Amino acid sequence: MTAPIALTCGEPAGIGPELAVSAWNALRDELPFFLIGDPTHLPDGASVVEIASPVEAAGAMAQGLPVLRHDFAQAAVPGQPDATNAQGVIDVIARGVDLVQSGDASALCTLPIHKKALQDGAGFAYPGHTEYLAALADVDQVVMMLACDALKVVPTTIHIALSEVPNQLTPALLRKTIEITDAALRRDYGIADPVIAIAGLNPHAGEGGAMGREELDWINALIAEMQGEGFALKGPMSADTMFHARARQGYDAAVCMYHDQALIPIKTIGFDEGVNVTLGLPFIRTSPDHGTAFDIAGQGVANASSTIEALRQAAIMAKARAQTPKEPA
């Protein structure tokens, strides 16, 4: 039987606690998971079952949200992050990684953190969740994929100014991004021969050099080189015509050149259901595609759709990974 999914609590003053309970209500008859966190941070009246080990999660799902207890320094006040809880948030993430690397959990799903609170309270040295997970896994490069039922997109460059994109976008970076995406589609989604669409950097993919030369100077050549190595790539494609419904039928994932080129289509098509997936880690990691939402925390109005889909996506990936033949050592 596949091990349960580990769900880390994230920032306890945000909407994470209520999302965990809502996800349990939606998924208790569908897939086993457990929350790592402080049960006192959960909404009053929530059905909770404390477990001593992940192996108990499946049996506890019918009675309440399984919680692997991790005590925090302070109570959680919705909307008011407490810096003294920062170390607890960090330790929960590390504990989740330990469990998924040991096989006690089949995948890791992370609820949103508040980076400033972690920096202020514990000197958190990473830009965010993903970089910390990569450090824990001793991985040099990971790739962010946003996914919903209708579309999977990967931005090659992420949180940098648009003016910096042409400098940061290199043949080596684009090649590695494509390689990681291709490997993940095979291993974690069970797609034997994935087709990846590559967006152009410039409008109309440069239009023969009239709107930018990067496509002519090196993007076309890199795509042709990788096609010769057996990668099924399409492009470079004009980004304004590659995301409509008919175009999406022609590929399994799209690799884009910068943040908004990838995130605008995914958030237009699946705003509430979009899932953040980290590719290139030795374990499965998903998360909801939103933040802590302090302005509505504790009000019981948070939309749990993205968390529910993140857990479902993790389960799909864990099943596919378990069925993928392991490469010889």
Average pLDDT over residues 226-247: 96
Asked if residue 113 and residue 41 are part of one domain, the reply reads: yes
Look at residue 329 and tell me whether its pLDDT is greater than 50: no
CATH code for the domain of 147: 3.40.718.10
DSSP label at residue 194: -
Q: What's the domain range around 25? A: 1-139+281-329
Distances (CA, A) of 292 to 19, 32, 117, 200: 10, 24, 11, 33
User: Number of structural domains, the chain?
Assistant: 2
Q: Which of the four pLDDT bands, split at 50, 70 and 90, describes residue 160? A: confident
159 is known to lie in a ligand binding site: yes
Average pLDDT, the chain: 93
Q: Is 95 labeled as ligand-binding?
A: no
Same domain, 14 and 65: yes
Does 190 share its domain with 314?
A: no
User: Does residue 135 share a domain with residue 231?
Assistant: no
Q: Is the pLDDT of residue 327 over 60?
A: no
Are 8 and 52 in a shared domain? yes
Residue 328 has pLDDT above 60, yes or no: no
Tell whether 238 and 309 lie within a shared domain. no
Q: What is the pLDDT of residues 93-119, one digit of tens each?
A: 999 999 999 999 999 999 999 988 999
**Binding residue per annotation — 186?**
no
| Confidence bin at 290 (pLDDT 50/70/90) | confident
- Annotated binding residue 129: yes
Distance CA 314, CA 221 (A): 35
Whether 290 has a binding-site annotation, put simply, is no
Do 243 and 298 fall within a single domain?
no
Please give the model's pTM, rounded to 2 decimal places.
0.90
What's the one-letter identity of residue 271? F
| Domain closes at, from 258, 278, 298 | 278
